[in-house]
Amino acid sequence: MVCPAGALAGAGLNAMTALLTEPMKTPDQTNPGPAADKRRAARTRCLRAARCVFNRGYSDLSVLVRNVSATGAKLTGDGLFCLPDEFELQTAAPSGAVMARWVRRVWSRPDSIGVEFLEPERKLPPDAIDPSVALRR
């Protein structure tokens, strides 16, 4: 902040001290910001292996699901820039079954992307999964 010369001279040292000693607000006292306003559902942290399948099934990319909600998920990994705007996300269920759903990229950063779920989760039949690229639990 730039003040004109002499603007604080009349206010004195007390005004300057008050400005410098004002307590900083903690994160819980500040505005939650625009990102919190855009969230439609509560997120749950997780660390789940997943695969992004695109190019009509001829290409895939291994990623990690870092958090998930009823409406979307955050994915991390290398090479996320090569993903199309919409693709199939395949995750391993605790039972060992592979679950899939179509997703759309909503936001992206160099090391992570946010996706929105376009359809409910569905179980893939065992014969539809190539064992050489199946997800490891």
pLDDT in tens, 54-106: 999 999 999 999 999 999 999 999 999 999 999 999 998 878 888 999 999 99
Count Cβ atoms within 10 A of the Cβ of residue 49 and give its class: 0-12 exposed, 13-18 middle, 19 or more buried. middle
Find out whether 98 and 124 touch, Cβ atoms under 8 Å. yes
Return the pLDDT at 111.
93
Q: Tokens standing for 120?
A: 């409910």
Q: Tokens standing for 7?
A: 């603007």
pLDDT exceeds cutoff 60 at 115: yes
Return the pLDDT at 125.
82
Q: Tokens standing for 24?
A: 């900083």
Return the pLDDT at 128.
61
Query: How far is residue 77's CA from residue 127's CA, in Å, rounded to a whole number?
Result: 27
Kindly state whether residue 18 falls inside one of the protein's structural domains: no
Kindly state whether residue 86 falls inside one of the protein's structural domains: yes
- The overall pTM is greater than 0.95: no
Residue keyed to tokens 């005004």: 15
Instruction: Please tell me the total count of domains within the chain.
Output: 1
Taking alpha carbons only, the member of 42, 9, 90 closest to residue 103 is 90
Q: Residue 15: in which H helix or E strand, if any?
A: helix 12-21
Alpha carbon separation from 85 to 36, 102, 131 (Å, rounded): 23, 11, 27
15 vs 62, residue with greater confidence: 62
Kindly state whether residue 7 falls inside one of the protein's structural domains: no
3-state secondary structure of 52: strand
CATH number assigned to the domain comprising residue 109: 2.40.10.220
* Segments forming the whole domain that contains residue 86: 35-133
pLDDT in tens, 26-63: 444 445 555 555 666 788 898 889 999 999 999 999 99
